[in-house]
Amino acid sequence: MKPNLTSLKLSLCATALLSVTIIGTSCNKSSSSVSSTNAAVNQQKLDVTNNAVDATSSDEENFALVAGNDQDVSDAKTAGKTVTYSPSKNVYPHTKTIDYGTGYTGSNGVVKSGKIIITYYDPVADAVGKYSFTTYENYHVDGILIEGTAQVNKIKNGTGQTVFLHIIHKTISDAAGDVKDYNTNAQWTVIDWQGGTANAYDITEHTTGNETYNGVESNNFKTSADDANHIIQPLTCKRRVKGGLIADVHLSNVAHGEPNTLHEYLDYGNGDCDDMGTLSVNGGPAETVTLPLRFWPLNH
């Protein structure tokens, strides 16, 4: 993958307000079962590993903008980012437009431009609980174009819990024409956790996607939450703190004798709000990683 798309992966992670995704920062071991002496192959493994899960980061950022405190966004008006409402945020449906102009640099150095447009509905009045619908207008992150839609429905399940249903399709492309396209369906259920009341999300999700380079589909991937080890994210923590994410990725153009399919498992930990997790690949030992991951973690 070209360096500018790699930069996008880093920036998507850096900008995620509810970020934890499998794209790593450090690891002290290597694994001969997946490591290659071919630098190009290792770069491909890096790219597809990142892509298998950076969708989560982008989608969680979107949900943070949808469900977060409007004031958190509006505070930045004087710094070059504007937020407007039409007709009013007290009327349903209404639209919130976050306009980054021709280039807004956040505190983390990520440059955004264009607009994110979120339409809010009254989920009580809507027959299917439609809550929000997000689109993008010429929206770029560090020069990478983000297109697509993200719908969130807000419902009550059979036991009276609040559930946010996410239906997402995004396309990410660079100036050279390389493209990543993915679809996500996720369910965020508000639960009572560790003695608290309605204080955490129980997350189940499924993502499928593919990448196209030079007009040819090169890699495809899918991820899903582990049904036996539910993902937990407290409302007061911007990280996933517990549970597991399963990723299966298929690589093209690998050398003869090297695995072209990777099965990965990320465990988010024991419930602490920290940036640590463990990652295992193709049945190898679980290795401690710092989240969010930012490079192929099992190669030096």
The whole-number average pLDDT for the span 251-259 is 66
Report helix, strand or coil for 63.
helix
Express each pLDDT in 261-299 by its tens digit: 888 899 999 999 998 999 888 888 898 887 766 433 332
Global pTM? 0.76
List C-alpha distances in Å: 242 to 6, 20, 24, 216, 279: 27, 11, 17, 37, 13
pLDDT the model gives residue 225: 92
As a whole number of angstroms, the distance between CA 98 and CA 82 comes to 6
Does the pLDDT of residue 249 top 60, yes or no? yes
